[in-house]
Chain A
Amino acid sequence: MNEIFNPENKLEEINHEKLLRKVLVMKNKNMRLAQMCAAFVEGKYELSYSFADDETYEMSTLRLIIEPDTAIPSITEIYPYAFFYENEINELFGVNVKFINHDYNKKLYRIDAESPFVKKEDK
């Protein structure tokens, strides 16, 4: 029988001003950025930054809830490969992400519609 690594997923809600500091803490723990996603719920953006540890199989998520017009800083300086995720949430949800290295300027998916994942009437 194998040893099973199945720790609980952690979730922490943070203020968007603390984002870079918290992400840096994750980087120093040698964690990998597993995914980043946005959701649009009740007129606000919910951003999830998930970090995974490859040895303990732990996953912790940072949750940001921001107003539609709030700009968030890019984390590409800390995790260079986050640029795909950031371009994606920028294009599909219209989240204002500032200072992305490799900014595709809403041309990652080559779609005409402006932020198609956010319903027009909710804006």
Chain B
Amino acid sequence: MGKRSVVPFGPQHPVLPEPIHLDLVIEDEKIIEAIPSIGFVHRGLESLVTKRTYKEMTYVVERTCGICSFMHGMAYCEAVEEVMNVEVPDRGKYLRTIWAELSRMHSHLLWLGLLADGFGFESLFYQCWRLRESVLDVLELTTGGRCIFSVNKIGGVLKDLDEDMTKAILQTVDKVEKELEAIKKTFLFDYSVESRLKGVGVLTKQQAHDLGCAGPFARGSGIKMDMRMRGYDAYKDLDFEPIVSEDGDGYARCYVRTMEIFQSIDIIRQAIAKLPAGEFGVDVKGLPKGEAFVRVEQPRGEAVYYVKANGTQYLDRMRVRTPTFANLPGLVETLKGAQFADVPLLILAIDPCISCTER
């Protein structure tokens, strides 16, 4: 048995642009224990509800996270809509679905790039981000923002898609599908990639359940859970199956996210084919009173929104449980017994977003 020592990891680290700090207790090269601590970027966004009106909050909530921004806004709007009994027009629901899936695509491409960077495959990283760029371009064309769209409003969406734009979206997803098909081989079958991912950071199905994991991290461990199955927005009319892998290692998480990009492409095509005509947003009058829980599937996993309104312009409480918050205990578990060199890779495996965790 070697001598134990403690290595502080983060909040600044070359491979990890996320402000999380871990105290790693290591024995030779093996990790015995990891103690997480957060709190470097706490902004107190939740308490802003008492100072901003419930409609203004849509824009504040969107800025919780820079990557799953759209789905934060969407979940918040859905929670308020549930409180106020507002029915969003069908076209609005479909547009939300299309933009949500486009954000999932760009988020997963970003993650694949970071993963490649994490195991030292620089050119693969560039390829992923090049593809992501074309998704961002079409998002800027359709919404006006690359990452933060600001198209949500309570009662629907603010902007419509015209003929040219749906065409542009379809062209982009076709292009991404074709080029991702080539890169996919490297992620899923390459010898050097496999040797870095296979058998690293194994989390069994039981462990993942006992630690309350969510999203692709849980699906990589064999839990068939995808909040989209609840059929919110247009998902009730679209055909898809949650992507699950049984292995529970780094490779399984990579597989789940890669395949989810293809799944998103498929969902976008279905949604555009079925896109109904008509209104895309309704004006909402009156003040909310009541409470609602809403769960949506973000690229990183399940997000829980809770809204409590008291009949004034200002909400009593808004609560955001982000997927990373649920995945941190799972992360600590995977680190135990891992090699020191695999730490950045394992932290990346949950696709951490500490800024939205702390809000």
Chains A and B touch (C-beta atoms under 8 A apart)? yes
Given the complex of chains A and B, what is the CA–CA distance between A32 and B310 in angstroms? Answer: 29
Tell me if B129 counts as interface (CB < 8 A to partner A). no
8 Å CB contact of A111 from B42, B302, B328: B42
A84 touches B302 (CB 8 A): no
CA of A54 to CA of B237, assembled, Å = 21
Residues from chain B with a CB closer than 8 A to the CB of A107 are: 39
Q: How many residues of A contact B (CB 8 A)?
A: 39
Chain B residue with Cβ nearest A61: B293
| 11 pairs of residues in contact across A and B, judged by CB atoms under 8 Å | A9-B293, A37-B317, A41-B310, A50-B304, A52-B302, A57-B225, A80-B210, A92-B47, A104-B37, A110-B39, A110-B42
B239 touches A1 (CB 8 A): yes
Q: How far, in angstroms, from A6 to B230 measured CA to CA in the complex?
A: 5
Q: B residues touching A (Cβ–Cβ < 8 Å)?
A: 37-40, 42, 44, 46-47, 50, 209-212, 218, 223-225, 227, 229-232, 235-241, 293, 295, 302, 304, 306, 308, 310, 316-317, 319, 321, 325-326, 328-329, 358
On chain A, the residues within 8 Å of B231 by CB distance are 2, 4-6
Decide yes or no: A34 and B230 within 8 Å by CB, A54-B225, A80-B329, A81-B329 being known contacts.
Answer: no
Q: Is the CB of A4 within 8 A of B39?
A: no
Known A-B contacts A2-B229, A4-B236; A84 and B39 likewise in contact (beta carbons under 8 Å): no
- Contact between A117 and B46, CB atoms less than 8 A apart: yes
Given contacts A1-B237, A2-B238, A57-B230, contact A50 B223 (CB under 8 A): no
Q: Is B230 within 8 A of A4, CB to CB?
A: yes
Residue of A nearest to B308 (CB): A39
Cα(A3)–Cα(B240), bound, Å = 10
Contact A84 B316 (CB under 8 A): no
Give the CA-CA distance A92 to B237 in the complex, in Å.
41
Question: Which A residues touch B46, using CB under 8 A?
Answer: 117
- Contact (Cβ within 8 A) A109 B38: yes
CA separation between A1 and B223, bound complex, in Å? Answer: 22
Known: A54-B223, A80-B329. A2 touches B236 (CB 8 A): yes
Is A73 in contact with chain B by the CB < 8 A criterion? no
| Residues A5 and B316 in contact in the complex (CB < 8 Å), given A34-B302, A80-B329 | no
Contact B229 A5 (CB under 8 A): yes
Are the CB atoms of B317 and A108 closer together than 8 Å?
Answer: no
Given A1-B237, A109-B39: 12 more A-B contacts, CB < 8 Å: A4-B236, A35-B304, A35-B306, A35-B319, A39-B316, A39-B317, A48-B306, A81-B211, A84-B329, A104-B37, A107-B39, A117-B46
- Asked whether, in the complex, the Cβ of A116 is within 8 Å of the Cβ of B302, the reply is no
Number of A-B residue pairs at CB separation under 8 A: 100
> Which of A54, A59, A79, A104 is the one whose CB lies under 8 Å from B293?
A59
Q: How far is the CA of A54 from the CA of B317 in the complex (A)?
A: 26
By Cβ-Cβ distance, the 6 closest A-B pairs, closest first, are: A4-B231, A81-B329, A110-B39, A39-B317, A35-B321, A109-B42
Q: Which residues of A contact B50 (CB under 8 A)?
A: 119
* Residue A33 interfacial (CB < 8 Å): yes
Per-position contact with B for A44-56: 1 when CB-CB < 8 Å, else 0? Answer: 0010101010110
- Nearest-Cβ distance from residue A34 to partner chain B, whole angstroms: 6
Chain A residues numbered 57-116 whose CB sits less than 8 Å from any CB in chain B: 57, 59, 61, 79-81, 84, 92, 104, 107-111, 116
Interchain nearest-CB distance for B82 vs A (Å): 10
Cβ-neighbour of A37 out of B227, B306, B326 (below 8 A): B306
Is the CB–CB distance between B39 and A108 below 8 Å?
yes
Closest chain A residue to B328, Cβ basis? A84
With most chain B CB atoms within 10 A of its CB, the pick from A1, A2, A39, A41 is A2
